[in-house]
Structure 1
Amino acid sequence: MVAPAAEAEAVAMAGRKTLPDECKTLWQIAGPVILTGVFQFLIGFVTVAFVGHIGKVELAAVSIVIGVIEGLGFGLLLGMGSALETLCGQAVGAGQLHTLGVYMQRSWIICLATAVALLPVYIFTDPILRLLRQSPEISAVAGRYARWCVPQLLAYAVNFPMQKFYQAQSRVWVMTLISGAAVGLHALINWVVVARLRRGLLGAAMVGNASWWLINAAQFLYVLGGSFPEAWTGFSRKAFASLAGFVRLSLASAVMLCLEMWYYTAVIILVGCLKNPEIQVGAVSICMNYNIWTLMVSVGFNAAVSVRVANELGAKHPKAAKFSVVVAVATSAAVGLVFTLVALLARKQLPRLFTDDELVVKEAAKLGYLLAATIGLNSIQPVLSGVAIGAGWQSLVAWVNIGCYYLIGLPLAAVLGFKLKLNATGIWVGMLIGTVLQTVILFMILFRTKWHKEAMLAEERVRNWGGNVELPTVQEAR
């Protein structure tokens, strides 16, 4: 029988990592997640690129649907699914793999119900955008396109819980390969349907629907194929148990992430209220697309640090969790600096990939400096949000987001954009100020965190959701 002191020492040794070890572990998770995110983002990116050559109105309409309508559904469903990052990650750290399949099924039930509740937003996109004072011509085109994209909404509800299921177990390369194959097919079929056969917006929407459901089918077949023998034991009635508590945790995650994603949605809406909305919305949407593209790197580290923090807290290694945070923030910031320099140097050339309209290109190039600053800041902020998800701080960060984004950032954006007549530049500056403030506050929260206490809270969370199990004693990794 192992003596308590020897057992405690073994736990501490298990949580000890050197800098090269931690960097390797982070990249093993972040690298595939980055590629997966880029590939899945490219589905929308490719669609906008093809549609942008149809006309200015079509470009603005699809950009608004992707940025506002799909952004609403995507953000809410991603947030609901992100409850699994906390639960699955800490369960893996505690060695309770048998709970993961049930968690994923519960999340499917909740996410699909949420998607059904969001259907009216897609169906009534046209009047909603008119109510938000968007151009009638753009709103009409956007309304048709949104109705055609309803299957994508349901696909998100299935996809996100599976992603978290894979990520919590650090099994992410298969998602990368599936998404890479899907985006290749997506580009090829768009070229045939939109560019050659000229099926317009309807063709673009149908190709997008097929691409997302192809990803879902391939990922689920991999799960059914026996690749997760401990975590997936088939469908279970347990998925319908404790749904109320799961909904509460899912809502906390959704509110936190949605407040961040809807912040950018609100910026696009504000820009749509300016004069010459076709040009302004087109320019901002192009910059947003590049910002989201580079954001995929930070999202990779967001997922990686979330998994690392959740795993280490679940395994009772508080110092190892703290060390993961430091390494993830530093690494993501270094990579973000490279993208910032690229955005500055290529600010006049990048918009031409989306449009041939010189006025839109010129307006997007003017926003290049702000785009570069945003990219630099967004190399840090998502990583801090990943720490919050891994540790289970979603409710706290939601309040921070409300204050920084909606009480400070957006009002400043409105004043600078409309009252001071700085247009899209002023709106972007206001958005940036809110993001800076939020990042500073998250850093302050991190500095004040008692990681030993967080490990004990993780133990309590695992017991509440996974049943009574023998868990290791919380130890500081020496």
Structure 2
Amino acid sequence: MEDGIQAKLLRREEEEEEGDLKGRIWDESRKIWRVALPGVISRLGTSSATETLCGQAFGAGQHHMMGIYLQRSWIVDLITLTGLLPIFIFATQIFKLLGEDAAVANSGGSISLWFIPFVYNFVFSLTIQMFLQAQLKNMVIAWLSIFQFAIHIPLSLLLVYKLNFGVAGAMIALSMSSWFLVIGEFVYIFGGWCPYSWRGFTVAAFKDMFPVVKLSISSGVMVCLELWYNAVLVLLAGYMADAEVAISAFSICLNINAWEFMIILGFLGAACVRVSNELGRGSAKAAKFSIKVLLGTSIVIGVFFFVLCLIFRRKLAYLFTNDERVADTVSDLSLLLSFSVLLNSIYPVLSGVAVGAGMQGTVAIVNLCLDEISFQVLVASVMKTGLSNREYGSDGMIGGVVTQTVALIYMAWSTDWDDQVKKASERLNRFYVKTSENPE
């Protein structure tokens, strides 16, 4: 059996070498966009432990293990989220302890309570998306997301404007439309459209939980550190003189950043799937080639948005506001915004490569160390210069992202990918559960 697999891999590598480079790049790009495009439509975040394990299991042909990994992720995520509920419940008190204005703290605490039914959908929606995406069942995710959006808009108009429920109405609409997506995903996997990867609920999901928890914790730390940094920037803006203008300007910049980031998140998912699939198949060479094509594609996208931000500068603010002071501030920050969107086209893809290889722990350590340094620079800059030199505060964040990007580039370049193939094989063998029911 092993000899047959090795022979197939050798033949595949020989075919790749014989093919012209242009054709190989086109073929790899097609595979990447097949995963990335639906991801652009649907992705907000990631449950990357599921992504690593499911992607490698699919590449290795262990399809039945994907359903077990999915169930394990539900167990881990449900327990984790439930443990975090006090943060949502006591958000008002937490904001006040941090010194935020009472009105801001009360509003934030009220919205936080409405977030509780919403965030529970992520336990299922994101993990199922990773489960389906690893199998290249991407279009179902995109179509469900389109239907979700189609429901969300009229529902929001009804609850917010017609029934005058305000913020509460917006949160109710968000929760309802989000759970529609989850229900659609349940119907798809339980309805028999994943016969090889979903064999029903099983007690095997409760076995070997510790390695999954370990990988999940690394994943969570990695993703949270990436997302919290921007949130801290807005939080610190609240301490500045003329905080309303500062928060508005930073929020506009972060929103523009987020638009591009949604596109790159699709490539983060594609990086996870392509790298994990190839490592699961045992082909280090194909994994490395995929990484090169992914980085080339994401850099082109980043340069495009970099140029747009430089050209439109002040005009970007008027997409969100008519306030001249806010527009002036956004114009001042436009150069840093341009470099930010450029870096954000590279850094997430490298994170996706690490997730595909199961190296979340290493990335989490890199993020933790470098974020601590850049965070100190950011706090010192903001507190020292205030609003009059607010761009210096952003310098701290840009410096941190540059350092993290360089660190991840070095990590990807210096990684022994043949060794990663061996680790993927060991991981899959350790978690493997035999099944007597094999429709394949």
TM-score by length of 1: 0.85
What pairs up with 1:13-52 in 2 under 5 angstroms?
A: 13-15=11-13, 17=16, 18-37=24-43
| Larger relative contact order, structure 1 or 2 (CA cutoff 8 Å, min sep 6) | 1
Call closer, same or farther: CA 1:436–1:144 in 2, change over 3 Å: same
Q: For 2:412, which of 443, 446, 463 is the aligned residue?
A: 446
User: Does the 8 A contact of 1:267 with 1:410 survive in 2?
Assistant: no
> Are 2:295 and 1:289 equivalent residues in the alignment?
no
Give SS of 2:191's match: helix
In the alignment, which residue of structure 2 is the partner of 1:418? 383
Q: For 2:215, which of 249, 253, 262 is the aligned residue?
A: 249
What pairs up with 1:58-69 in 2 under 5 angstroms?
A: none
In the alignment, which residue of structure 2 is the partner of 1:103? 69
Q: For 2:8, which of 7, 10, 34 is the aligned residue?
A: 10
Give the letter for the 2:222 counterpart.
M
Alpha-carbon offset, residue 196 of structure 1: 4.2
Distance in 2, Cα, partners of 1:180 & 1:25: 22
Call closer, same or farther: CA 1:245–1:365 in 2, change over 3 Å: same
In the alignment, which residue of structure 1 is the partner of 2:20? none
Distance in 2, Cα, partners of 1:434 & 1:317: 33
Call closer, same or farther: CA 1:427–1:120 in 2, change over 3 Å: same
In the alignment, which residue of structure 1 is the partner of 2:265? 299
User: Does the 8 A contact of 1:132 with 1:269 survive in 2?
Assistant: no
What pairs up with 1:216-295 in 2 under 5 angstroms?
A: 216-295=182-261
Percent pairwise identity: 36
Call closer, same or farther: CA 1:354–1:184 in 2, change over 3 Å: farther
In the alignment, which residue of structure 2 is the partner of 1:63? none
Give the letter for the 2:54 counterpart.
C
RMSD over aligned CA atoms reads: 2.0
Give SS of 2:200's match: coil
| Runs of 4+ that moved beyond 4 A | none
> Are 2:352 and 1:346 equivalent residues in the alignment?
no
Alpha-carbon offset, residue 342 of structure 1: 2.1
What pairs up with 1:14-413 in 2 under 5 angstroms?
A: 14-15=12-13, 17=16, 18-37=24-43, 78=46, 81-406=47-372, 408-413=373-378
Deviation string, structure 1 residues 98-155 (Cα, Å, up to 9, x no partner): 0111111111111111111111111111111122222221111111111122111111
TM-score by length of 2: 0.92
User: Does the 8 A contact of 2:58 with 2:280 survive in 1?
Assistant: yes
Distance in 1, Cα, partners of 2:417 & 2:250: 40
Alpha-carbon offset, residue 360 of structure 1: 3.1
Call closer, same or farther: CA 1:3–1:293 in 2, change over 3 Å: closer
Deviation string, structure 1 residues 413-444 (Cα, Å, up to 9, x no partner): 11222223355422211101000001111111
Give the letter for the 1:91 counterpart.
A
Alpha-carbon offset, residue 192 of structure 1: 3.0
User: Does the 8 A contact of 1:92 with 1:311 survive in 2?
Assistant: yes
Alpha-carbon offset, residue 318 of structure 1: 0.5
Call closer, same or farther: CA 1:343–1:192 in 2, change over 3 Å: farther
Distance in 2, Cα, partners of 1:281 & 1:385: 28
In the alignment, which residue of structure 2 is the partner of 1:48? none
Greater mean deviation of Cα atoms: 277-286 or 372-381: 277-286
Alpha-carbon offset, residue 341 of structure 1: 1.9
Give SS of 1:346's match: helix
User: Does the 8 A contact of 1:268 with 1:281 survive in 2?
Assistant: yes
Give the letter for the 1:383 counterpart.
V
User: Does the 8 A contact of 1:271 with 1:423 survive in 2?
Assistant: no
In the alignment, which residue of structure 1 is the partner of 2:21? none
Gaps (5+ residues) in structure 1? 42-74, 470-478
